[in-house]
Each structure stands twice: as C-alpha cells, then as structure tokens.
Amino acid sequence: MADNPEEQALADEWAAALVEAGDASQDDIDALMAQGTQVETPKPPKAPVEEFGQSSGGLAVSGMEGPNLDVILDIPVTISMEVGHTDISIRNLLQLNQGSVIELDRLAGEPLDVLVNGTLIAHGEVVVVNEKFGIRLTDVISPTERIKKLR
C-alpha cells in the first residue's frame, strides 16, 4: 500500500480509471495500489499517416475505400486573399494616417494569393459580382504541393 495520502489518492484514481476503461483485472489494480505513483502511462497506438495522392481513386468519403472525411467537412476555415505585403518600421507605422500610401511588393495586374488558414492554395484575379468583390481562381495548387510546402 502507498505510504502517504497523496500516493494513495493517485493510486485510487488510476485504479478507478483502469476499471472504467475495462482493461484491468483485479490483479492489475492490486499491483497498481502496491506501486503507488511508479506507474507509467500506457501510450496509445499510433495511427498510420496516409499521404495525399497515395490512394488509387482519390479521397473516399466513406466505406472501406479510405478515410471518412464526413467528420471534417463542416469545420470552418478562414480564407483570405493577399494583394501583397511589405515590411515597414514601427516609426513609419506610427506615422501613417488617412490618405497614406503603402507600397506593396506586387505589380499592378499580378494575380492575388488565395490563402486558407495562412496556407497558399491558389492564385486568382479580382472580379466584381453583384456590386461585391470576388476572386476568380486562375491557378490552384495541388494537394501534394501544399503538403510539401508545410514540411
């Protein structure tokens, strides 16, 4: 048995967790109680990582053909269009006011970058649809190339 109350409480928590998980026998629980806090947490098995483009028929939505993507299809992501960027000092940033012009690193007419959660996925051009701005995709980066850029 554990010598101090803290070790006993920890052993009791582990015993309760093992019983709840259903993976422990009474012998396991007794051994755990005798060891106190010297128990290592079992590591869950690692899931195999599947690379994009390795499956023969593309990404499957359900069934035995591949991973079930239904669980992630409704997750919201942030999509943004980047006109360009530049680096300025804090001194110049503090001097900006209405009417100031900031020079960007892009030429007029160059395609915009389309980013999803900060990752480049496409290039496009600005269009106007029903008096609102939109973007027409001109070049979409393949999933394989996107994965390579993440590494």
Q: What is 14-68 written as a DSSP string?
A: HHHHHHHHT---HHHHHHHHHHTT-PPPPPPPPPPPPPTT-STTS--SSSTTS--
How far is it, in rounded angstroms, from Cα 108 to Cα 3? 75
- Which pLDDT value is given to residue 86? 92
Contact 141, 121 (CB under 8 A): yes
pLDDT tens per residue, the chain (151 residues)? 546 777 777 777 776 766 666 655 566 666 656 665 454 555 556 666 655 555 444 444 444 566 777 888 888 999 999 888 899 999 999 999 999 999 998 888 889 999 988 888 999 998 998 999 889 999 999 888 877 777 6
- Which pLDDT value is given to residue 74? 87
Residues in the chain: 151
N-term to C-term CA, the chain: 49
Distance of CA 82 to CAs 17, 61, 62, 104, 131, Å? 50, 31, 35, 11, 20
Question: What amino acid occupies position 141?
Answer: I
List all residues 6 or more positions away from 79 whose beta carbon is below 8 Å from its beta carbon.
114, 115, 116
- Which pLDDT value is given to residue 56? 46
Domains for the chain: give ranges and CATH numbers. Answer: 67-96+103-148 (2.30.330.10)
Crossing angle (nearest 10°) for helices 5-21 and 26-35:
160
Threshold 0.75, pTM exceeds: no
